[in-house]
Structure 1
Amino acid sequence: MRLKPSVGQLVVPLLPSTALKPLYTVVKLYNVQLFERCAALSATDWVHAEDSANLRYPIHRLDSTRELLSCHPVILNPDGSIWREGSLYILDQALADDTCDPATLIAQAGHLADFMNTLLEENRDFLDFTGYRFELPTYIYKEKYNLPIKKQQISASTANVKIRTVVRFYTDLIDHRGFSPQKQPWKVKRIKIIYEDVYGYERSKYVSYTDLTYPIAHQENTGEYINDGGKLIPLIKSEQLVLLTSLMQIGNPEMILVFTIALVTGMRIQTILTLRVGSIKSGDSTSFDLIPIRAGRGTLVDTKRNKPIVVLMPSWLHHKLTVYLNSDRYKQRAILAPAKPENEQYVFVSRTGKPYYIAKNDIGYFSSDEKGSYIRLFIKSKLKPLMGQKGVDVNFSFHDLRATFGMNLIHERLELLRRGRINEIELIDYVRKRMSHSTSKTTQGYLQYERNNDLAFQADTEYQQFLIDLLATKD
């Protein structure tokens, strides 16, 4: 089998090092075509041998649903050659799941390169499982993180993610590649856990884990933050107002719309920045009616873990986006973007025509895996300083805007709860659906936060009217 990258591929080393001796590194290949050598009679094509222009050999496509990998990592040995076992494992992961996010594969390749560099320092072969337990490759890697975890230089959960990648790698070697270690690479333990299903019912199941991972002390959330894809702290009413007025003062139309969408819909950054022209309807400039936008699996719009969701966006915001899409500013940007059918073009592209966030399906198309770095830079270099000048020195991330939307939604529904028009279960279910939470436990965290913090948030409808009036000043 041969990996054939596209002409002019971009190769990026992911693990630079100041060490004197060469290390294992990871490179990213774009638009990798997949095929393997075969008998001449079954060949679909012929390729030239790399060491001879006159020698050709027959190939055919792999027996896979994928013929092209838009962005794929390869692990290199210290001498620059491909590390066969590790790279084949990563390739198998890509072929086994055609929805696998390239970023996940790149991270896993980085974990394996880190593992091999650890063994390199110890002069230990990754297939050598002789000696005492602490000398085995897997336990050497575990021990690497013992002191950093105690010093809080790395979290136990982060170390465990790396270790589990190594466990899966060895499991694949044992199950599919005939590897038989001299000693057990780890011990397996089995425990019963309690969890909540998507309908809010309590379930139990048995899970297995190894003695390589570190125990994690799960701290009970006391209401100081909201656990929703991270420890989020929503902006209160006064902070939201300063944020919005600061955005208007800066005057960047794309950023005004991006932040407004986040505050009014709760969309994550990858969903907002991969919205397509076809996602947007004409809308009514004064209507609060909610118009659905499909995202995730089966669409061109990204979501967390490619989960298929329907996001509700008010009609007036659809109208604002339609006005923007018909503006000279957007047209000048879109004309510089790579050619796509109009409905598939990104809503948010930079002055050079490149998307602020490359969707999973387009990584090979753009030979880039940009993931919204400009938004983070905009917050750090422009938005936060201006808000600080206005007396609001708050440390927030873009993802906190999702929690802000959720709390505004909770605040409005609480008024209906107090009037007896809905009960608490109906409140939680409504917010859960609007935010596309997989379980009600995440949504309950919002209610807990509200009850533990005597803070002022905006009622959603009142808030939207304020936004309409504010944005009208830029029309």
Structure 2
Amino acid sequence: MKASPTQVRVEVLRKLDCYQPSVSQSPSPEAWRCSPRDGRPFWAERLQSHFRDNCYHYPVVLDPDGSPWQEANRYLLSRLADISPISHRTLESIAGDLAHFRQWQLDDDIDFLNVPGRPRARPTYRYCAFLHDLVGFHTIKASTAKRRMSTVQNFYRWLEHDGVRFPHPLWVESDTRLSFKDAKGLQHQRQVKSTDLTRSFRTARQSHDFSEYLEDGGKLRPLPKDEQIALVEALQRIGNTEMTLAFLLALTTGARLQTIFTLRSKHVASPPRDGTVSKRIKVGHGTLINTKYGKQMTLLVPVWLYTRLQIYSQSPRRLQRVAKSQHTYPEVDEQYLFLTRAGQPYYMATSDPFAFLYRSPPRGNAVTQFIHQQLMPNLNQHGHDFTFRFHDLRASFGMNLVESLLDQHSERHATDEQRPEFFQTLMYVRERMGHSQLSTTEGYLNYRKKFKIASHLQSEFESFLEQIVKEE
């Protein structure tokens, strides 16, 4: 959406070089001389307090007149000094929240640095009330309001750290205990700081016991076997080789979109060993292949599919697309396995050296367009009315794996001696899915059990109603 001239907006710089002014008589060799029209010349030195000399896709918050909002932009710059590198998407999200806060200030003529004695007149409480109004009118979700409030709180904390002194508290802070499960499924509690502002956005937890969705990095819907078959048949009818191979990879490995479309040709170069049923491909940090949070794991690609990927990597169709690519990598085999007809990546890796050339690097939009413009219409034409997202294929793989393993070790007939074997099954599913928390894997087991119970009860009730109608 294009912002009007009267709105605060976020502009993204493709590349930001970080420097600091210096009047040193012996500047470093990399420094360059600045000669302003008015004032003394100075040197621009690399910013030593930051871990990175530059940042790609750096967001800047601009006021309606086009001038940068100084405090917000200095806060964003300070985030580059974090020990844990912040992603440009996270930084852009923070900038968007601050832009929303700034727009509210200008619309209501509020000085965000003026903190009066009356608590409800302070800018933090007034902005919190404004967010509650937006939630009440269903303009935004409570979770969005809570995130924006948290961003503003962190901004004010930085202002205080930066030397700004406020005469009155900006919120009431207290200690609270947070319950969570560790990677092994053990329950723990941790003491955290909480404020009356963010606590005000608590919502009643909804029950999803018999929902058709499960939680795995978002709400996912595992596709039943008949829908998976219909999906593959539709892909074969359409004949898009890249999409067919990518969808099959998702269904057989559970890999996310960002992982599949950042595979390089070198990852399918080595032949599988004789007698093996799958080929191992390492993904994550250090492999050029993106995963969520860079987590390292191994994909087990069925040999029959891996062989097709090898054939495709050397096919005239792919080589024509490679020839159209404007990006030349240090090694030829570091080119993406899947490219669009124009030679562009479907999803550009975060470490890609050419990412700065794009204001918004490709993030799978072409895949989403394919689903809506070609795949769904084809399914509808052949009598299928279900909808899905690419990420649902990951959940479908997870449920296929769970069903297959539990058919071998049924919970109904499990004895105490078989329990350890069942736990090993759970751990295997977790490893294949790359779950950091065991509770996420347990969600697949609970989904299978609860959804089947709900379906069975509904079926029995419908049969009961049908029998009553027949008797009449």
**Which TM bucket (shorter chain)?**
0.7 to 0.9
Cα shift readout 1:259-295 (whole Å, capped 9, x = no counterpart): 1111011111111111122222444599663333222
Going from structure 1 to structure 2, the CA distance change for 1:47 and 1:284 (only over 3 Å counts) comes to closer
Query: After the TM superposition, which residues 67-466 of structure 1 pair with which residues of structure 2 at under 5 Å, given as runs?
Result: 67-97=53-83, 99-175=85-161, 177-213=162-198, 214-224=201-211, 225-284=213-272, 289-337=277-325, 338-340=327-329, 341-362=331-352, 363-418=355-410, 423-454=421-452
User: Mind listing any 5+ residue stretches in structure 2 that lack a counterpart?
Assistant: 454-472
Q: What amino acid does structure 1 have at the position aligned with 2:11?
A: V
Measure, in 2, the Cα distance between the counterparts of 1:285 and 1:242. 32
Measure, in 1, the Cα distance between the counterparts of 2:18 and 2:188. 42
* Structure showing greater Rg: 2
- Bigger shift: 310-319 or 103-112? 310-319
CA contact (8 A) 1:285 1:316 kept: no
Measure, in 2, the Cα distance between the counterparts of 1:451 and 1:52. 74
CA contact (8 A) 1:281 1:318 kept: no
Deviation at 1:400, TM superposition (A): 0.7
Measure, in 1, the Cα distance between the counterparts of 2:35 and 2:10. 22
Going from structure 1 to structure 2, the CA distance change for 1:100 and 1:308 (only over 3 Å counts) comes to farther
Cα shift readout 1:417-463 (whole Å, capped 9, x = no counterpart): 038677321221111110011111111111111112349xxxxxxxx
Determine helix, strand or coil for the equivalent of 1:351. Answer: coil
Measure, in 1, the Cα distance between the counterparts of 2:368 and 2:28. 49
Deviation at 1:247, TM superposition (A): 0.5
Measure, in 1, the Cα distance between the counterparts of 2:171 and 2:287. 41
Equivalence for 2:47: 62
Going from structure 1 to structure 2, the CA distance change for 1:60 and 1:454 (only over 3 Å counts) comes to same
Measure, in 2, the Cα distance between the counterparts of 1:365 and 1:279. 25
Going from structure 1 to structure 2, the CA distance change for 1:313 and 1:402 (only over 3 Å counts) comes to same
CA contact (8 A) 1:44 1:59 kept: no
Measure, in 2, the Cα distance between the counterparts of 1:273 and 1:55. 51
RMSD over aligned Cα, in angstroms?
2.4
CA contact (8 A) 2:347 2:364 kept: yes
Measure, in 2, the Cα distance between the counterparts of 1:288 and 1:219. 45
User: Mind listing any 5+ residue stretches in structure 1 that lack a counterpart?
Assistant: 1-14, 456-475
Determine helix, strand or coil for the equivalent of 2:26. Answer: helix
Measure, in 1, the Cα distance between the counterparts of 2:318 and 2:176. 55
CA contact (8 A) 1:288 1:316 kept: no
Going from structure 1 to structure 2, the CA distance change for 1:292 and 1:119 (only over 3 Å counts) comes to same
Going from structure 1 to structure 2, the CA distance change for 1:416 and 1:90 (only over 3 Å counts) comes to same
CA contact (8 A) 1:282 1:319 kept: no
- Bigger shift: 91-100 or 326-335? 91-100
Determine helix, strand or coil for the equivalent of 2:175. Answer: strand
Going from structure 1 to structure 2, the CA distance change for 1:98 and 1:451 (only over 3 Å counts) comes to closer
Cα shift readout 1:11-56 (whole Å, capped 9, x = no counterpart): xxxx7445xx622211111122222222141233454648659996
CA contact (8 A) 1:267 1:402 kept: yes
TM-score by length of 1: 0.86
Equivalence for 1:44: 29
Q: Percent identity?
A: 34
TM-score by length of 2: 0.87
Q: What amino acid does structure 1 have at the position aligned with 2:249?
A: I
CA contact (8 A) 1:111 1:162 kept: yes
- Bigger shift: 130-139 or 380-389? 130-139
